[in-house]
Structure 1
């Protein structure tokens, strides 16, 4: 009899447990209906542009968990347009219907900025030999968010070491669904000094006193397609024309195809991008990946230029625990086709494609791979300060966050075209490690100070103004 009572009690406990589990599931499965969506603070920006960044619409039905995730993701999407200093989405749920209020603070969009630029690959190479001989001065006019539709107009006029004039215009959306956009750019550059060859893994410059040593004119027509929030497609048609002084092609016969003094060609460019980063200028969570196809020379002009490359970049960001974060990045490029003239050959040391600790060097080659890793600790998690003495909210909102990090990088460049036997870094495995301090702040600005030691045992302090990965 006691065994029967024990079995009955066990069955009751199991039934209670099942009921409890179903109750928890039912609570989590409660649904929220998206009601009215109102936007406040968009004096310039069209409502439709902001609505485009939301991953929900009026009338959608979401579970409570999905609803919270949708609010956070939509906030990040609006922030990542880089049009607002602050974005807050508040909700009011009544009878399972959520009213949404989006409050934004717009940035300043018109920037006529005086420019003083140094013709160097990065700030550290200029610090190695600081002088203003390679300085150019001018004005760079940028009008973001033109007509309140996220359109961008840029006008550039530079005089001095390099003369440059350029114009570009980008229209992100042309159709009602806001999936298709277009743009164009045209820029003319005149140089009196260029990087003519690489010796001892460093750029060697050649200068002419009177006549320009190089002229180039680049024009592009861009087509953008964004069918989903995080999926971007860009297709570009390019026309590029170059002119070189005799002294340049005599100094380096491999600088242009067949040592020609003039070169023109059409090219094609395609980029597929999947971007799930929480904050693009300095991400802490999410991931990014892209694939880039680039073709130089379409056979329209008989100049011997025929190259094709495929490049991919992937980055992963994650929270390790509390204020600890991690990041990993991988960049790989492979080139195909004929001879690559020095003028367009790009290995490591340009843009974001470099191994930390080798900022003073360039590594020529047609194929390369780079792996980067970071572990960081938030010394100062994101804080927002209001400077009351600044009267306008476009400038008095100052976010700041500070991170201490340790990192390690590694890379390899494959070079099949040897111009000089003095270069030791191509076709050799390189690596480095170090510690750094990162600051993320005002209007997407990032500053980094890093101490790095490389495989040669060289240790230096470097400055950078972009996220490490």
Structure 2
């Protein structure tokens, strides 16, 4: 009896397992990215016990920086010690993007944007852009700088700064369908934001943003200064698999504004959800939606845009909205050209839901995996019902 009790006691004792210790980490193939950047994204270091789960999540971390189009791990074990080898292939980090748009009156806009997604080899972003209209009586010009410094504070906080300068001349001012005169405009917009990663996998994130907007008109129109403060929380479980993205994402944002329209604040509250499921080799089924409402001041200014395609602007703006989108992303030519038949819809309204809007459409996109940018995208949507419109676009998109 004592022997049986002793055996039972030993069986119930927790069994401690010993993992091989990581002796060395080798990173191969880096051209533009610094090795310390890669090591910072890893969830393990030399001296830790080896874990397949941490290796898998570390590769996810690296892929989600969008700086790599291929990462091949190799694990070598000898005498209870492990060497982890990561063979990397990087995307081109610096991309020049030509800008062009034409109107039926022969006016056209042209410009250039230079994007560096890996400034100083540490995943920082520096974007510079300049556009100008030609054969256009307003002579519109726009210059902007967009910078983001990745994990610059305590290795877990991003800091971003965006500056936008815009001016135009001889604009027509109308009120109640009456032309009151012409005016010039000089506009300055900025955005200063911080993103804090709440876990090593960068799944849960907090965001804080401050956005001043200063508009200076001709002498006979009063200038306006507006200030916005945004708070956000996101849970990002997506993984960039280079040729497709899988996983879920949801966010919650609250935006406060201190505009000239009212002595009290106005703002908005928006929640979003999306999910992408793998179907077959590289095809995906994706779905999602968002809901939003104005808060505070309830005047007719600062209406929310529901983002529903295929309708005139009056139909898609309101004090509240909900929208949805469902699409199937299907590979047409290997891993280069994809088509996305889509159903989008929702409602933008003031008090209670009124017009349910439906818009079928499709997108065609083509890209080269080695480019961090470089997607050519064509899309067309046609609304069904009152206020419907046919909307098409052809542009160089951004897979970011």
- TM bin, normalised by shorter chain, reads 0.7 to 0.9
Q: Is 1:48 the counterpart of 2:26 in the alignment?
A: no
Q: Is 1:166 the counterpart of 2:144 in the alignment?
A: yes
The 10-residue stretch of structure 1 (448-457 or 51-60) with the greater mean CA deviation from structure 2: 448-457
Q: Is 1:270 the counterpart of 2:231 in the alignment?
A: yes
Shift of 1:178: 0.8
Q: 1:456 aligns with which of 379, 385, 397?
A: 385
Give TM-score, length-normalised by structure 1: 0.66
Q: Is 1:223 the counterpart of 2:197 in the alignment?
A: no
Q: Is 1:58 the counterpart of 2:46 in the alignment?
A: yes
State the distance in 1 between where 2:172 and 2:45 align.
53
After TM superposition, the structure 1 = structure 2 runs for residues 313-352 of structure 1, keeping only pairs within 5 Å, are: 313-321=272-280, 325-339=284-298, 342=301, 344-348=302-306
**TM-superposition CA deviations, 1:240-299 (whole Å, max 9, x none):** 21234599xxxxxxxxxxxx732113321122222222228874421111112211118x
Change (3 A) 1:190 1:340: farther
Match of 1:374 in 2: 327
RMSD, aligned α-carbons: 4.0
Match of 1:256 in 2: none
**Secondary structure in 1 matching 2:240:** coil
Shift of 1:113: 4.8
The 10-residue stretch of structure 1 (261-270 or 450-459) with the greater mean CA deviation from structure 2: 450-459
State the distance in 2 between where 1:195 and 1:60 align.
67
**Secondary structure in 1 matching 2:66:** coil
State the distance in 1 between where 2:172 and 2:243 align.
32
**Secondary structure in 2 matching 1:234:** strand
The 10-residue stretch of structure 1 (45-54 or 135-144) with the greater mean CA deviation from structure 2: 135-144
Change (3 A) 1:60 1:196: farther
Change (3 A) 1:208 1:451: same
Match of 1:149 in 2: 122
Shift of 1:310: 1.2
Match of 1:293 in 2: 254
State the distance in 2 between where 1:264 and 1:230 align.
36
Length, aligned pairs only: 371
Segments of 5+ residues of structure 2 without an aligned counterpart are: 1-14, 134-138
Match of 2:360 in 1: 433
**Secondary structure in 2 matching 1:49:** helix
Match of 1:310 in 2: 269
**TM-superposition CA deviations, 1:190-237 (whole Å, max 9, x none):** 1348798999xxxx9x9987x52x332122332221132222222122
State the distance in 2 between where 1:323 and 1:295 align.
40
**TM-superposition CA deviations, 1:90-114 (whole Å, max 9, x none):** 3223356442222223344344555
Change (3 A) 1:58 1:330: farther
Change (3 A) 1:242 1:412: same
Q: 1:411 aligns with which of 346, 351, 365?
A: 346
State the distance in 2 between where 1:280 and 1:326 align.
14
Segments of 5+ residues of structure 1 without an aligned counterpart are: 1-25, 119-125, 248-259, 383-399, 417-425
**Secondary structure in 1 matching 2:276:** strand
**Secondary structure in 2 matching 1:50:** helix
The 10-residue stretch of structure 1 (405-414 or 69-78) with the greater mean CA deviation from structure 2: 69-78
State the distance in 2 between where 1:449 and 1:138 align.
20
**Secondary structure in 2 matching 1:285:** strand
Equivalent residues of 1:330, 1:371 under 8 A apart: yes
By percentage of residues, which structure has more helix? 1
State the distance in 1 between where 2:219 and 2:144 align.
26
Q: Is 1:181 the counterpart of 2:154 in the alignment?
A: no
Q: Which has the larger radius of gyration?
A: 1
**Secondary structure in 2 matching 1:149:** coil
Give TM-score, length-normalised by structure 2: 0.76
